[in-house]
């Protein structure tokens, strides 16, 4: 997956952006999708497919604790993906005419 594709996935929706901010601000957070949705002021329905996208790209991981499925940040993968995004952005020229 290229840096550009990673970027498109990470910023694919406002909810996904909110999820990234939540987990980056709280890198040790482990919670259910319901709990995560509440934390960002959204409904579970609005969040579930966005969480799935972040699971697919690998930023988030899922595991079972007791009767609950919980999600959490994969810090190493997150670092790796954001590094790829940063390297991609280094190649983009933004100077020029207004």
Distance of closest approach, residue 10 Cβ to other proteins, in angstroms: 7
Binding mask 20-49 for other proteins (x = CB under 8 A): xx--xx------------------------
- What is each CA distance from 6 to 18, 35, 41, 51, in whole angstroms? 16, 25, 25, 15
In contact, 70 and 28? CB cutoff 8 Å: no
Closest CA to 18 of 43, 5, 4: 43
Q: Which is nearer to other proteins, 21 or 65 (CB)?
A: 21
Q: Which is nearer to other proteins, 8 or 68 (CB)?
A: 8
H/E run at residue 9: helix 3-10
Structure tokens, 11: 């910023």
Binding mask 67-96 for other proteins (x = CB under 8 A): -----------xx--xx-xx--xx-xxxx-
Beta-strand pair 30-31/68-73: antiparallel
Residues that bind other proteins (CB under 8 A): 4, 7-8, 10-14, 16-18, 20-21, 24-25, 78-79, 82-83, 85-86, 89-90, 92-95, 98
């Amino acid at each position: 997956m290229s840096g550009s594709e990673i970027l498109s996935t990470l910023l694919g929706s406002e909810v996904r952006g909110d999820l990234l901010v939540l987990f980056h601000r709280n890198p040790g957070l482990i919670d259910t999708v319901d709990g995560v949705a509440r934390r960002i002021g959204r409904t579970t329905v609005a969040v579930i497919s966005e969480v799935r996208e972040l699971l697919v790209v690998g930023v988030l991981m899922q595991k079972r604790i007791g009767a609950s499925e919980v999600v959490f940040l994969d810090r190493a993968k997150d670092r790796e993906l954001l590094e790829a995004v940063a390297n991609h952005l280094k190649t983009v020229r933004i100077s020029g005419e207004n």
